[in-house]
Amino acid sequence: MKLNELKVIVTGGASGMGRTFSLELAAAGAQVVAADVNIEALQEVTDASKGMVFGVECNVADEASVANLFEMAYKHMGAVNGLVNNAGIIRDGLLIKKDRETGEISNLSLKKWQQVIDVNLTGPFLCAREFATLAARNGVAPACMVNISSISRKGNPGQSNYSAAKAGLVSMTKLWSQELSRYGIRTGAIAPGPVDTPILLQMPEKARSGLTRMVPLGRFADPKEIYEAVRFIFENDFFTGRCIELDGGMNL
């Protein structure tokens, strides 16, 4: 698939890696709809792209909001043949934790578990389902979706919810490739290690330094390096059902 033929939705497309994906894809000639819950950030990425990126407010965990996103995208672009499932949140916490002073045992709340599962796993499911349904109904092919997973899918302490969601996303990437190939739809996943985004910049310096030491290359990824994998999946028509690991050699 040539990027100048791509009509793509990028979820979480107004900040972090998603912002980079939106701007780089637009600069490469794709038509881009950025979906995000942050209206101000959507306006900023639209301005930064000089109007090349069209922003739509969307909560990917809400079925009606996702349906509206695709309706707006079809009206704006005429079709949707690309999807980047990038939207995600973090609500970290150990399954159980003992207070050092009181000895009291606390645990990961159901609320934190559900918030992450809703956005990071149900969200991609809802977007993929809408994407595939409309593509099949309207004869939109070839088409391709890219799911942003994480190195944490291997299991990272303090991230039961996040690890489960990101592992599930890779599994769905594989099974969707088998289910959707008959409709001309390919799938791919990317599992980044630490990426230099605003979320990591908010970490205490000691924590950032410790995380950097875990990466053999000794640094975080630039968001544009992750974008290069997104671009590869879209452009390589023989790629489907696989996950690209971009973790700088890091192991969990």
Residue 187 to residues 16, 145, 159, Cα–Cα distance (Å):
22, 5, 25
pTM: predicted TM-score of the whole model, two decimal places: 0.95
Mapped onto helix, strand or coil, the DSSP state of residue 220 is coil
Whole-number pLDDT of residue 109: 97
> What is the model's pLDDT at position 133?
98
d(CA 165, CA 116): 7
Burial class (CB in 10 A: 0-12, 13-18, 19+), 238: exposed
User: How many CA atoms lie less than 13 Å away from 112 in the CB half-sphere?
Assistant: 14
Q: What angle do CA 70, 30, 11 make, to 5 degrees?
A: 40
**Assigned token pair, 74:** 């079809």
Q: What pLDDT score does 179 carry? A: 98
Query: For each of the chain's 252 residues, which pLDDT tens digit applies?
Result: 999 999 999 999 999 999 999 999 999 999 999 999 999 999 999 999 999 999 999 999 999 999 999 999 999 999 999 999 999 999 999 999 999 999 999 999 999 999 999 999 999 999 999 999 999 999 999 999 999 999 999 999 999 999 999 999 999 999 999 999 999 999 999 999 999 988 777 777 887 888 899 999 999 999 999 999 999 999 999 999 999 999 999 988
In order of start, what are the domains of the chain with their CATH numbers? 3-246 (3.40.50.720)
To the query of whether residue 162 is one of the catalytic residues in this protein, the response is yes
Q: Fill in the DSSP letter of residue 248.
A: T
b vs e for 84-99, b when ≥16 Cβ sit within 10 Å of the residue's Cβ? bbbbbbbbebeeeeee
Query: What per-residue confidence (pLDDT) applies to 208?
Result: 81
pLDDT value for 42: 98
The amino acid sitting at 28 is A
SS3 content of the chain, % helix, strand, coil (to 5): 50, 20, 30
E strand residue ranges, the chain: 7-11, 31-36, 53-57, 82-85, 96-98, 105-107, 143-148, 185-192, 242-246
CB 147 within 8 A of CB 99: no
